[in-house]
Amino acid sequence: MIIIPAIDLYDNAVVRLKQGKYEQKTIYSLVPLEWGKYLYDLGFSHLHLIDLEGAKQGKPCHLKQLENLASLGFIVHYGGGLRTERDIQDALEHGASNIYLGSLLTMGQAHLEPVLNRFSSKIIPAIDVIHGKVSVSGWQDITEISHDQLISQLIENGFSRFLVTSIVRDGLQKGPDLSLYRRLISLFPSFEFIAAGGITVLDDIKKLDTYGCWGTILGKCLYEKTISPEEIRKVL
């Protein structure tokens, strides 16, 4: 399993939200590039970089930070505010290896098809789940689409790897929604899932690996060191 550290950005600062709520934002006294170098030196090969400000505003706001962090050598998965072909192209030109698409995936085939024609090999669908429904626009709006339904539709469009975030677990440090990932892997056994939300201790990572997750995102547990660097090295 690939272990992917997260850097979430808002106003050029490293932050974490609690259950996706912007009014419950923790700001960390970390310089993004310095923190990224620390993570890279630990041995991480991938980086989960989310532009929370961009997700809220509907356009990328941290392309320079993306460029700086990509220059360290990471395989960067970047998301937040990517709503147009130009936005996606800009992110790729600034160093993203792959881009997460969330809101655009729910806007219908007419909006999605031109993007797929140009960038399908670079896209990882980002599916943010709350009570079984898909949330979009930086977790500000809840749709009537179930995550199972959306994944099925996206498989028909040729996608094989998905980031699935449990919003109700995100930032709480109470463990991941293991039943969610166990169920998804049971329903879609030939596809790859990246788990995010609530990963707190090393045992969480081991369980997700046992279930068959392709990757897992580590955020607050790294900032607040509920998983130590020494533990991380054992599973990289």
Any bridge partners for residue 21, and if so which? 18
pLDDT at 110: 72
pLDDT at 56: 84
pLDDT at 172: 57
Tokens matching residue 171:
């930032």
Query: Residue 162 carries which side chain, given as an amino acid letter?
Result: F
pLDDT at 228: 79
Residue tagged 């689409």 (tokens): 145
Tokens matching residue 73:
């050598």
CA distance 203 to 187: 24
pTM of the model: 0.89
User: Which residue intervals of 122-228 are DSSP H helices?
Assistant: 147-156, 178-187, 202-211, 220-223
CA distance 30 to 36: 10
Q: What is the DSSP letter of 226?
A: S
Mapped onto helix, strand or coil, the DSSP state of residue 42 is helix
Residue 69: in which H helix or E strand, if any? helix 63-70
pLDDT at 155: 94
Catalytic site residues?
8, 128
Going from the first residue of the chain to its last (236 residues), give the mean pLDDT of each consecutive group of 10, the final group possibly shorter: 94 80 81 94 93 89 96 96 91 97 76 86 91 67 78 91 83 79 95 93 92 93 82 70
Q: Is the dihedral of CA 59, 64, 67, 72 positive or negative?
A: negative
CA distance 103 to 55: 9
Burial of 85 (0-12, 13-18, 19+ CB in 10 A): middle
Mapped onto helix, strand or coil, the DSSP state of residue 46 is strand
Please name each of the domains of the chain with its CATH number: 2-235 (3.20.20.70)
Closest among 110, 57, 45, 47 to 87, alpha carbons compared: 57
Contact 36, 70 (CB under 8 A): no
pLDDT at 90: 96
